[in-house]
Structure 1
Amino acid sequence: MADLSLSILFVDQYGHMGGGQRILVDLVIAAKARGWRVHVLCPSGPLVDVARNGGADVHILALPVMRDGPKSLISLVRMSVASRHLARKYASLAQSCDLIVVNGPRTLAIARTWVRRFKKPALLYLHKQYGRIENALIRFFLSLPHTAAVAVSALVAKPFDDLANVRHISNWVAAEFLDAPASLQRLRQVLGIKDSNPIVLVPGRFSPNKGQRLALEASRLLADVSCHFVFSGAPLFEEQGREVAKELAAQAAQQPSRIHVTDWQEGMSALYDGADVVLVPSVWEEPFGLTAIEAMARARPLIVTDRGTLSELTDDGRFAQVVPADSRAIAASLRTFFADRSAWNNRARQSRNHVEKNFHPHTLQPEVLALCESLLQS
């Protein structure tokens, strides 16, 4: 029976809709389904409306602007000063809730104040690897009573292997990717692609880390092949992503019949359905790789680079082609796909079963909610 007395506060450091925010919204909906009252505290952005539509009461958090990546000591001191003010401002909200879920470390100082002052249990979500100073702050937070953390991959969990209150629970694919009917032509219709040449989809936020530049170079190496490269995303969270977006837009202007850029706003499953092959060309140590899981859920042929968790997610190449983070290797793999798609399509059909077995929301969401309940009981 649902416990209508429980109240949970999700605190997010971003207002954009990245992978971590999509996971947060899924948890909001799952918590509401259990009858819990849900609050979300986050900066202004698309997350505000999405969380409200999921049933949450949303409160706007005015965080100082910080660049992405490792933080300087001065930046962290400035954030600490602002955090004390914000902790006081939203103290009554935190005190009214039974559990605090912190989505990323930038709001740790705020949550730490509430945990210590109001004796609240708290769950910290770790979505990527962090710098030395941030890891120290995470450890300090997790030394407090009734705290725990979810690390979305073994790679993310590794710096905290010695902490018993850090759990590895993978991200999951949204139910839409498992349930939505196929929509094979919608992407071509929206982009105005009238020929039948194959589409290479490169999904994900625009960032130097995500490898869109590698994909552009691979497209140049495949100049003799009639195909389309579709870059779907936006420059979220970091200034350098805007430079990548400008480069993509310039190439699309020069080659409008070959290079396409879209910030896809329709059902995400239709984006993948329209692709003949999906490319995830990350150049950093990818902490998870949600786009790879989404491609496999829609049974699309997939190429990933050998960075971070991507190989592990695809069962070491059983369900995708794993290549070095190199434009020549990517181009060679695409040539193999264009030459004979049948084996690739057979492997892609099997990859959906892999996702249903290992990354299903009905399996993984209850693990997170059970951890929340154990913190409440403690």
Structure 2
Amino acid sequence: MSGDGKRRTILLVHPGAELFGSDRMLLESAIGLVESGARVVVALPSSGLLVNELRNAGAEVVIVPMLVLRKVLLTPRGLPRLFRDTFRGLGAAWRLLGRVRPDVVYVSTIIIPEWPVIARLKGIRTVSHVHEAEASGNRLVNGILYSPHLASHRTLVNSRFSLDTIRAALPALARRSHVVYNGVASPPHPVSPRPRTDGPLRVLYIGRLSPRKGPDLVIEAASRLHAAGRAVDVTLLGAVFEGYEWFEHELRAQAADAGVSVDFAGFHTDIWPFLEQTDVLLVPSRIDEPFGNTAVEGILALRPVIASDSSGLREAAGGYGTAQLVTAGDPDSIATALTDIDTRWDEMVSTVADSRAEALRRHAPAVYRSSVTAHVLG
């Protein structure tokens, strides 16, 4: 409610309708705002699994055309679609803002650049929530991508790493940015690790099957252990982007050539049953990650975690006795960490509860929801 007792209307805008990291954070933001008593309307460019979750949380959902910046649009073949989506998105955004008449517009991610500008032109308070950060990327390109969000009155970022990346590219935006660590859901009573790693060591990867995310490194590390006489079973929980089917074919061929058991489990919204059945979770990203929800989920599930020692993954997985950080892009480092965890299994099992307690303190969804709500409504 506002100071005059009027119920506030908040329009949330998000570039997809799946249930990966930023999608889940959008859902948590919506839940927090609904719980505050606000009317929450969420604009998406398409339908998907996220829609029902939002409606179950009490939000309204509208599907509207919008410009979503994808690399394919920045190619000669993609330019006609870029121009089309730009003009269609401008009109759709202007009309929706006029129809919904929100008190605040919350723009989720930097890849829907029209919304902060249009909302500002309409005189509406605007909050951007940045979930992307590539410090290794070109600073000029990063600055261009971040610049539309200078139109927002406030910017939220999900890690110190993200804030530093913004500061290097666009200091003016960094000065009005605030760090809000992701809230990560957890089962109330996760299943304890098995007492002994008898039989194959069970390893899990969760995420997009993408070269950037490094699932091939998981298979390569497993092949190192396999060659040394230690059996490893790998589960890849995720799917490819449309157009990247070739990469899954390569992963299957790699596993067959190495003689490693790999279960291509596909995408599942409920990851916890897979974590129950694994020994170690791997988060082997080659590229910068603004944060690392998956690493935190592994810790909350009482499982040892191996993550790349880079970017926001350091903030997500650092400081836990049951998480190891390894050189990004190096399968030998991953194989060494797997061997170390396997060798020290009794110690790992005895300390996973302490790691979970610390993760709950850092990343409770309730803390995230209240923080986002305060920034949006404040």
Match of residue 21 from structure 1:
23
**C-alpha deviations, 1:247-269, integer Å up to 9, x for none?**
33445677898211112536322
- Aligned partners of 2:188 and 2:6: how far apart in 1? 29
Amino acid in structure 2 at the alignment position of 1:157: L
Residue of 182, 193, 199 corresponding to 2:191: 182
Residue of 346, 353, 361 corresponding to 1:349: 353
Amino acid in structure 1 at the alignment position of 2:368: L
**C-alpha deviations, 1:227-285, integer Å up to 9, x for none?**
3111111224x744x33323334456778982111125363222212211111111112
Match of residue 183 from structure 2:
172
CA contact (8 A) 1:302 1:348 kept: no
Match of residue 104 from structure 1:
109
CA contact (8 A) 2:219 2:255 kept: no
Residue of 142, 146, 149 corresponding to 2:155: 149
Q: Secondary structure at the match of 1:210?
A: coil
**C-alpha deviations, 1:21-49, integer Å up to 9, x for none?**
10101111222222211111112232233
CA separation of 1:312 and 1:137: change in aligned 2, threshold 3 A: closer
Moved more, 260-269 or 361-370: 260-269
> Map of 1:1-40 to 2, 5 A cutoff?
5-40=7-42
CA contact (8 A) 1:104 1:125 kept: yes
- Aligned partners of 2:357 and 2:190: how far apart in 1? 16
Match of residue 246 from structure 2:
243
- Aligned partners of 1:115 and 1:243: how far apart in 2? 42
Give percent identity, aligned residues only.
26
Deviation at 1:88, TM superposition (A): 2.2
Deviation at 1:287, TM superposition (A): 1.4
Match of residue 337 from structure 2:
333
Deviation at 1:316, TM superposition (A): 4.6
- Aligned partners of 1:286 and 1:347: how far apart in 2? 26
RMSD: 3.0
- Aligned partners of 2:190 and 2:309: how far apart in 1? 31
Deviation at 1:336, TM superposition (A): 2.1
Deviation at 1:77, TM superposition (A): 9.6
Amino acid in structure 1 at the alignment position of 2:182: N
Deviation at 1:4, TM superposition (A): 6.5
Moved more, 13-22 or 341-350: 341-350
Amino acid in structure 2 at the alignment position of 1:284: I
- Aligned partners of 2:118 and 2:68: how far apart in 1? 21
- Aligned partners of 2:193 and 2:269: how far apart in 1? 14
Residue of 129, 135, 146 corresponding to 2:133: 129
Amino acid in structure 1 at the alignment position of 2:159: S
Amino acid in structure 1 at the alignment position of 2:344: D
- Aligned partners of 1:18 and 1:79: how far apart in 2? 24
Q: Which runs of 5+ in 1 are unaligned?
A: 186-194
CA separation of 1:303 and 1:13: change in aligned 2, threshold 3 A: same
CA separation of 1:73 and 1:307: change in aligned 2, threshold 3 A: farther
- Aligned partners of 1:179 and 1:311: how far apart in 2? 25
Match of residue 361 from structure 1:
365
Residue of 259, 262, 266 corresponding to 1:259: 262
CA contact (8 A) 1:83 1:110 kept: no
Deviation at 1:67, TM superposition (A): 3.4
Match of residue 55 from structure 1:
58
Q: Which runs of 5+ in 2 are unaligned?
A: none
TM-score by length of 1: 0.84
> Map of 1:194-343 to 2, 5 A cutoff?
197-223=200-226, 224-236=229-241, 239-240=243-244, 242-250=245-253, 258-265=261-268, 267-316=270-319, 318-325=321-328, 326-343=330-347
- Aligned partners of 2:72 and 2:322: how far apart in 1? 31
CA separation of 1:335 and 1:205: change in aligned 2, threshold 3 A: same
CA separation of 1:353 and 1:135: change in aligned 2, threshold 3 A: same
Q: Secondary structure at the match of 1:16?
A: coil
**C-alpha deviations, 1:46-96, integer Å up to 9, x for none?**
223332232222111334575349957997896466334323224343232
CA separation of 1:266 and 1:208: change in aligned 2, threshold 3 A: closer
